[in-house]
Amino acid sequence: MTKTIYKGKRLKVIVYKNKNIEREIVFVPESVAIIPIKNNKILLVNQFRYPFGYIWEIPAGKIEKNESPLKAAKRELLEETGYKGKFKKIGKFIVTPGYSNEVMHFYIAYDIEKVKEFDKKEIKETKFFDINKVKTKDLKTNFAIYLLKYKLC
């Protein structure tokens, strides 16, 4: 049995219940995460994430209605960094299966070039980091760094 207990603009929360368990599950649209690389460095964005403050992370965002994951990845990279490039899909992954339905599509963006300024309302700054020296607390970004370090993509 399921029951919706909250419905907002970007998400809804349901209670799932059967004879053994009861869980609150967050439903959100699918999302994309982009790993922009240039000269063996990764391009990260510094973005405010309440309640953590500003964190360095790879560009990412939700897939809009009727938008393909690739189109969303290209849009997010351009909006958050001002870069365009070629894209290769790595795969799609379940982000937090015990808590949410979110599926995140990962892409590598390569042969990237800056074509405009990034959205300064959303992003504080962008910066290239050496993948062997970068430190962040963001899980998707650490996953991306791991993939690059160990040449798994």
Per-residue pLDDT of the chain (153 residues; tens, 9 = 90+): 899 999 999 999 999 999 999 999 999 999 999 999 999 899 999 999 999 999 999 999 999 999 999 999 999 999 999 999 999 999 999 999 989 999 999 999 999 999 999 999 999 999 999 999 999 999 999 999 998 888 887
pLDDT score recorded for residue 50: 94
- Residues sharing a CB contact under 8 Å with residue 87, sequence separation 6 or more, in sequence order: 34, 70, 73, 74, 107, 108, 109, 110
Q: What is the pTM of this model?
A: 0.92
Q: Give the residue numbers annotated as catalytic, written as ranges.
A: 125
pLDDT at 17: 92
- Check if the beta carbon of residue 60 is closer than 8 Å to that of residue 47: no
pLDDT of residue 65: 93
Structure confidence at residue 138 (pLDDT): 95
Whether domain 29-149 has CATH 3.40.50.300: no
Answer for the pair 49, 43: CB distance below 8 angstroms, yes or no.
no
Query: For the chain, which residues make up each domain, given as ranges?
Result: 29-149
